[in-house]
Amino acid sequence: MKVLQISSHYDWGGAARVVATLHRQWLTKDMEAYAAYSRGIAPEDRNVFRFGTKLEVCFSAMLSRITGRNGYFNHRSTARLIRKIEQIQPDIIHMHVLHGYYINVPMLFHYINKNKIPYIWTMHDCHAFTGNCGYFFDCRRWEDGCGDCPYLRNYPKSIWIDDTARMWLHKKALYGNTKGKIVVPSQWLLEEVKKSFLGNADCRVIPNGIDTTVFAYSQEKNILREKHGYSSEEKIILGVAVGYQDQRKGVEYILRLAEELKEARIVLIGWNESRKSLKKELTNVVIMKTIQDKKILAEYYAMADVFVIPSLAENYATTVLEAMACGTPVVGFDVGGIGQQLKDGGGLTVPLGDQEAFNRAVRRVIYEEGSVLKGETLAEKLRKTNAADKMSKEYLALYEQVLAEI
């Protein structure tokens, strides 16, 4: 079986890690696996190729901001991808994130449909069925047509032109009656897809999986702390995000938490220097750049007392899975699929935007024994539901079903 995955990034960010995890699983099986991307750092894995350039991505981002249109540029890079598809001749195409200023979406779909190539589309956010938003927050206009967008400046942003109504109509015409299979990681997103113009599509839930051999519980918590410059007595609160400059990640809630829990050390991995002023004079906040080495990242998860994710909108966060796999419970707002991830003792959720409840939940996890699962008990629970091999088996079964239906 030949499988080609397509996404904006490879192994950079939550969705991209799913792509990389699946690709590595396929390479260990009797499959000819390929992955295509256009943004981020070049990986070492074999059969992974970049089809767009940084200049093309930047030019497309500029055009998108000016015109208010997203996914309509990048003709040359998409033509390169199509040539590669013709060379590979995949049995099935597995698409992931199709926004990000790197691909011409109509061009890709026209080619796939014209050549009757079977495909699966894993939706990691809501962009496929909104006019342009990755997350719609409290707006429901996408249910019957967008326009007059209240979040025009959110990613993928427009400077002034609101073309969301036309893009919504174009998306509906382009793949509203899709014959491809749609996959979402959470029950929450499945319910939202059902309310959209994709409501009649064949859509199912396959939870994201992670490499639990890398992200794993360690009994050497104190040794890890000493290695990274922390004491065994300290209470460590960890946050991880790819660029905390995105307001959706809710970093302000973590900084206000730091003002109250002065006895704790708050470690934020993925900090962007453009937001340095937010830190103010908080001496108990440690800011770090993104950690590429997953073994080092896993050590930070394992040595923390609690992982916090105060996202204002979220689907099915990979960082939550990584924290729990390392035996660290999670506190977050009850948005998107977070509640599904933290049910049955994985952590605590609180109402969106409730700072006091958020702070109380963090204190409860740190100081009250038995409030949530921790350590190997939590890690074992995660392995049963979100291990990479479980996810790959479900996707492989879906691939086989798609090919059997041809």
Q: Is residue 216 part of a domain?
A: no
Q: Taking 90 as the threshold, does the pLDDT of residue 162 lie above it?
A: yes
Residues 202, 276: one domain? no
Residues 49, 195: one domain? yes
Q: Is residue 336 part of a domain?
A: yes
Q: Is residue 340 part of a domain?
A: yes
Give the DSSP per-residue string, 37-59: E-BSPPP-STTEEE-S-HHHHHH
Q: Taking 80 as the threshold, does the pLDDT of residue 274 lie above it?
A: no
pLDDT at 15: 92
pLDDT at 53: 95
Q: Taking 80 as the threshold, does the pLDDT of residue 300 lie above it?
A: yes
Residues 90, 236: one domain? no
Residues 287, 184: one domain? no
Percentage above 90 pLDDT, the chain: 87
Mean pLDDT for the stretch of residues 375-402: 96
Are 22 and 5 spatial neighbours (Cβ–Cβ below 8 Å)?
Answer: yes
Say which residues have a Cβ less than 8 Å from residue 239's Cβ, sequence separation at least 6.
251, 254, 266, 267, 268, 269, 270, 307, 308, 309
Q: Is residue 214 part of a domain?
A: no
pLDDT at 279: 67
Structure token digits, residue 187: 């029950």
Beta bridge partners of 39: 9
pLDDT band for 369, please (50, 70, 90 cuts).
confident
CATH of the domain at 283: 3.40.50.2000
pLDDT at 273: 67
Residues 38, 182: one domain? yes
Q: Is residue 215 part of a domain?
A: no
Residues 322, 241: one domain? yes
CB environment 246-276: b (16+ within 10 A), e (fewer)? bebbbbebbbbbbeebeebbbbbbbbbeebe
Say which residues have a Cβ less than 8 Å from residue 131's Cβ, sequence separation at least 6.
141, 142, 146, 147, 149, 163, 164, 165, 167, 168, 171
Q: Taking 90 as the threshold, does the pLDDT of residue 85 lie above it?
A: yes
Residue 265's φ and ψ, nearest 5 degrees, are -100, 125
pLDDT at 44: 87
**CA–CA dist 349, 341 (Å, integer):** 10
Residues 183, 272: one domain? no
pLDDT at 241: 82
Angstrom CA distances, 73 to 50, 105, 191, 234, 246, stand at 17, 9, 31, 51, 24
pLDDT at 352: 97
Count of domains observed in the chain: 2
Residue type, 52: G
Q: pTM for this structure?
A: 0.93
Domain of 114, in residue numbers: 2-209+387-404
Residues 181, 293: one domain? no
Task: Tell which wins on pLDDT, 230 or 282.
Answer: 230
Residues 119, 14: one domain? yes
Q: Taking 80 as the threshold, does the pLDDT of residue 244 lie above it?
A: no
pLDDT at 355: 98
Residues 106, 197: one domain? yes
Residues 19, 148: one domain? yes
Task: Tell which wins on pLDDT, 219 or 32.
Answer: 32
pLDDT band for 173, please (50, 70, 90 cuts).
very high
